[in-house]
Amino acid sequence: QVIKCKAAVLWEANKPFSIEEVEVAPPKEHEVRIKIMATGICRSDDHVITGTLVMPFPIILGHEAAGVVESVGQGVTSIKPGDKVIPLFVPQCGECKSCLNTKGNLCSKTDLGTSAGLMPDGTTRFTCKGKAVHHFLGTSTFTEYTVVHESAVAKIDSAAPLDKVCLIGCGFSTGYGAALQTAKVEPGSTCAVFGLGGVGLSVVIGCKVAGASRIIAVDINSDKFAKAKELGATDCINPKDFNKPIHEVLMEMTGQGVDYSFEVIGRMDTMTAALACCQYNYGVSVIVGVPPAKQMVTFDPMLLFTGRSWKGSVFGGWKSKDAVPKLVADYMKKKFVLDPLITHTLPWTKINEGFDLLRTGK
Active site members = 42, 44, 47, 63, 170
CA distance 63 to 83: 19
